Structure 1
Amino acid sequence: MAGDQLQVLTALDVAKTQWYHFTAIVIAGMGFFTDAYDLFCISLVTKLLGRIYYYEGNPTRPGSLPPNVSAAVTGVAFCGTLSGQLFFGWLGDKMGRKRVYGMTLMLMVICSIASGLSFGHTAKGVIATLCFFRFWLGFGIGGDYPLSATIMSEYANKKTRGAFIAAVFAMQGFGILAGGMVAIIVSAAFKSAYKAPTYFKDPVASTVPQADYVWRIILMFGALPAVLTYYWRMKMPETARYTALVAKNAKQAAADMSKVLQVEIVAEQEKVEQIAMGQSNNFGLFTRQFARRHGLHLLGTTTTWFLLDIAFYSQNLFQKDIFSAIGWIPKADTMNAIEEVYKIARAQTLIALCGTVPGYWFTVALIDVIGRFTIQMIGFFFMTVFMLALAIPYHHWTQPSNRIGFVVMYGLTFFFANFGPNSTTFIVPAEIFPARLRSTCHGISAAAGKAGAIIGSFGFLYAAQNKDKTQTDPGYPAGIGIKNSLYVLAACNLLGLLFTLLVPESKGKSLEEMSGENEEGEVEMDVTDAYSQSRTVPV
């Protein structure tokens, strides 16, 4: 029989929604706002970088990044993010959530500014410096994933925990939206200050010297929200679950949460030590006990996040290529450099506003009503449907009269990604693993997702550049590559639907109930028992 819950943890589980919940959402969420801004703003300026640094002297064609350079600029931050998720996830369980939280934020601030100050005597030098700083920017962003999710899950009550964690993650949508808005404002300001010609006739006039400031300002702006929240992150107390269950300091946990909840909580050091002595609670990550209890759970969270991010990041990072392919964004040689940034940012902002952001907040509203499992299944299913609906009649969507329909369908895939697995894959790993391994397991799950993002960013880049040579219609510039990519992404979503069956439902349950940390040396429960007990939604 499970042991009694610690009073401090029970107080957290049953606490009414209070001001500190919203404070924690904003503090943790601003990290995700910054993360999304920094990761996705690069897609707004890659074409501008090509115009500035890779113009080949042809007055009829603007410069463009070579495929390998474009892949490096776009994907290097994900390599850093993957590394950061593994490292800081592990460190968060060893040193505590709060202490590591400040490290990641400062790294993000420094590297955001440094990215905008990238230097070099040649084009290769500038791009190499940019890639170096974006790798370390990604490293800091990676740490924010497991730490933000874990902190919010350990602060929240069990009734609305899903909504609180989803609200933190929903700030990602505002970060994507802010990236587009900043790019619109900056490019519009420079465009109005310098009246360049509408058509690309003179490469000097089209890519003005001031264009070099545009991409630098856009990248550096990402440091601002991170700086604004640093002080408040350092003021947050360590989570009671880490202090009590990992650091074994019941007195400190009770004191911290008494102040936060404004109630009197009794320190229960003996009970903490009793829980710590339970043999079933001492297993590590690479043990048979973990494999039996949580092996399938970890497989489920890693595979679903991996498959989701192949599709999600491919869509986000290469919207400009897709919109150019269907003719929604004019050809590069009909615009000057700053005007191109403006039109790309406007298109991506429209998608974020109409599809991306609403999806996140539908999840916030419904996740504690219909559950994580149901939302994830719905999301993967409709992403598959809409991807196939775009891919099968792809030539139909490229016709000028049908482009609005394509954009609407494309926006719906973003809606169901965010009202679906993009949110739930972030939430569930923060709820189902033991406190001493929670940050580590979330980091592993998130790193699997970033492995998918790397595959998506590098793979989709080359696929999108594979033009359909059988097409004779000059208004149909990027045929078979994008069409086949949409088929691949649909297959990824379908596989994600199947692997969701491995992920347990955590709606309405305490973290200790999900992880089994209340057990005091009882007979071990294998993963099939854990799976059947945790599922509340019929399959």
Structure 2
Amino acid sequence: MADTSDASEMDANDSASCTGSESAAQGTGRRAQCLATLVSSFGLMIDYYDFGVMNVVKSFLQEQYGEMSAAQNSTLSVSSLAGAVAGMLVIGSLGDRYGRRSMFIVCATLTFAGAALSACAWDDGNGSIYDLLTLFRALMGFGIGGEYPISASHTAENADSDTSSRNLALVVSALSVGAALAPMVVLMILTLGGSSEFSWRFVFGFGALCSLISLSLRLMFVEDSEKFKKEQQRNEREGFRQSIRKLRKYAKPLLGTCGAWLLYDIVDYGLALFSASFAEKATGATPKRAVASVLQYALMALPGAFVAVAIVPLIGRKQTYLLGTGCMMVVFIVLSTFFHEITKSLALYNFVYGLQLFFDVAGPCVTSFMIPGEIFPTAVRATAMGLSASSGKVGAVIGVYAVGLLQANIGVQHMFLVLAGICFVA
């Protein structure tokens, strides 16, 4: 994986435009940076909320509509991820051609529509609601997928060389906030005594409302950066195909960002969509306590983003990725080796499992988003970011299926050892 120390060699035009005085002249001042970071952060926070919420509402759905078949369970789990892969590729490419603002609006609109339709899903008495939710969440996933390349590109282009890594880290830290928000909302509803049907509809509806707010913010405040507008004018003169050919020069770093993100998301998403069931199976926790465990994991992970902000300038992007992934590997080995001792206590299991997520966010979570957002030139940044992020979501689909099969066939204990091996390869 290429580090951003190579960025000046890879794109002299971009690096030359990153001095403080030129950034101010190009409209990338403090206000533009803050708006770009806040809007992108809010969007990704809601996106990860929408991604993770299925993990904590499946029990409500099955209580009301009956058990899902194995095929329905797997398909419903990966539908949003499959949609995200398509969204990253399509919207990422369109973002380089038609602008960040227009694609930001498209993403928020699709995410809102998918979440709202999910909240209004119905059943004909034969379990058809699971098929409808699969369709609606795929639509939502398409919008979420587009967020990744557009958010990274828009944030980087509204920052200068001194603040780019910080702003990108703050944006990706919003994923951890979204991960905590999903179980928090569910626990609030359970505490207030909400019925199963009200609970899952409210949870999906809340995501739709937040997406609508995100759409409004983008309509009011988001504008394409001056850096992007100048590059867009150049593309119009040279032709868009000429800009795409520029990707050939970055084949090696693109392969690195795609491969590293794919391997990382096999582990990250494979665990994220099953973390509540792991807590139940490993420790015998009740469903409510399992949801509380998911909230604890998210809260333990959140400080990792701020640790990444601190250590990236000291040791570099690639080294931060390697350090975080290595620490995750060690935790997985500990979980597998001392599984029976650790799982005797839910509190101890939650701490060790949450520690893995802390290293996840402090290392590969932040840097796999940060590196492709910085090292590619403006003309093809969203396309390259979309290719990198979509590779990650292909890994996520693999991870969801693989983790589900692993826990069913070899058990949670040995599954952790397999995940340690994937971290080593990554």
**TM above 0.5, one fold?**
yes
CA shift, 1:423, in A, is 0.9
Provide the aligned C-alpha RMSD in A: 2.5
For residues 319 and 450 of structure 1, the distance between their equivalents in structure 2, rounded to whole angstroms, comes to 18
Unpaired runs of 5+ residues, structure 2, are 1-8
CA contact (8 A) 1:13 1:157 kept: no
**Equivalent in 294, 297, 300 of residue 348 of structure 1:** 294
Go from structure 1 to structure 2 and tell me whether the alpha carbon gap of 1:283 and 1:425 turns closer, same or farther (over 3 Å shift).
same
**What do residues 345-403 of structure 1 show as CA deviations (whole Å, max 9, x unaligned)?**
2111111112x1111222233323432122111111101111111112323333x2x44
Percent identity between the aligned chains? 26
1:30 aligns with 2:19: no
1:99 aligns with 2:102: yes
TM superposition score normalised by structure 2: 0.90
Aligned to 2:172: 169
Aligned to 2:334: 389
For residues 368 and 421 of structure 1, the distance between their equivalents in structure 2, rounded to whole angstroms, comes to 15
Aligned to 1:443: 386
**Equivalent in 21, 32, 39 of residue 51 of structure 2:** 39
| Aligned AA (1:75) | V
Go from structure 1 to structure 2 and tell me whether the alpha carbon gap of 1:219 and 1:123 turns closer, same or farther (over 3 Å shift).
farther
Deviating beyond 3 angstroms after TM superposition, the runs of 4 or more aligned structure 1 residues are 1-10, 13-17, 281-285
Go from structure 1 to structure 2 and tell me whether the alpha carbon gap of 1:13 and 1:382 turns closer, same or farther (over 3 Å shift).
farther
| Aligned AA (1:309) | D
**Equivalent in 250, 266, 271 of residue 315 of structure 1:** 271
For residues 317 and 73 of structure 1, the distance between their equivalents in structure 2, rounded to whole angstroms, comes to 11
Aligned to 1:203: none
CA contact (8 A) 1:387 1:489 kept: yes
Aligned to 1:202: none
Name the SS for the 2:414 alignment partner.
Answer: helix
CA shift, 1:123, in A, is 4.1
Instruction: Say which one has the larger Rg.
Output: 1
| Aligned AA (1:345) | V
For residues 170 and 369 of structure 1, the distance between their equivalents in structure 2, rounded to whole angstroms, comes to 19
| Aligned AA (1:110) | A
Aligned to 2:4: none
CA shift, 1:79, in A, is 0.4
User: For 1:219-368, what aligned pairs fall within 5 Å after superposition?
Assistant: 219-234=204-219, 235-248=221-234, 283-285=242-244, 287=245, 290-291=247-248, 293-330=249-286, 340=287, 342-354=288-300, 356-368=301-313
Go from structure 1 to structure 2 and tell me whether the alpha carbon gap of 1:13 and 1:488 turns closer, same or farther (over 3 Å shift).
farther
Go from structure 1 to structure 2 and tell me whether the alpha carbon gap of 1:412 and 1:226 turns closer, same or farther (over 3 Å shift).
same
Name the SS for the 2:203 alignment partner.
Answer: helix
Aligned length: 413
CA shift, 1:17, in A, is 6.8
**Equivalent in 391, 408, 423 of residue 465 of structure 1:** 408
TM superposition score normalised by structure 1: 0.72
For residues 19 and 225 of structure 1, the distance between their equivalents in structure 2, rounded to whole angstroms, comes to 23
For residues 421 and 36 of structure 1, the distance between their equivalents in structure 2, rounded to whole angstroms, comes to 16
Higher helix share: 2
For residues 328 and 366 of structure 1, the distance between their equivalents in structure 2, rounded to whole angstroms, comes to 38
**What do residues 45-91 of structure 1 show as CA deviations (whole Å, max 9, x unaligned)?**
1122222212xxxxxxxxx4322211112111000011100010011
CA contact (8 A) 1:33 1:174 kept: yes
For residues 13 and 231 of structure 1, the distance between their equivalents in structure 2, rounded to whole angstroms, comes to 26
| Aligned AA (1:353) | L
**What do residues 134-167 of structure 1 show as CA deviations (whole Å, max 9, x unaligned)?**
0000000001000000000000010121010111
Unpaired runs of 5+ residues, structure 1, are 55-63, 192-209, 250-271, 331-339, 467-479, 497-539
Name the SS for the 2:375 alignment partner.
Answer: coil
Higher relative contact order (CA 8 A, sep 6+): 2
1:413 aligns with 2:347: no
Go from structure 1 to structure 2 and tell me whether the alpha carbon gap of 1:13 and 1:410 turns closer, same or farther (over 3 Å shift).
farther
For residues 349 and 276 of structure 2, the distance between their equivalents in structure 1, rounded to whole angstroms, comes to 14
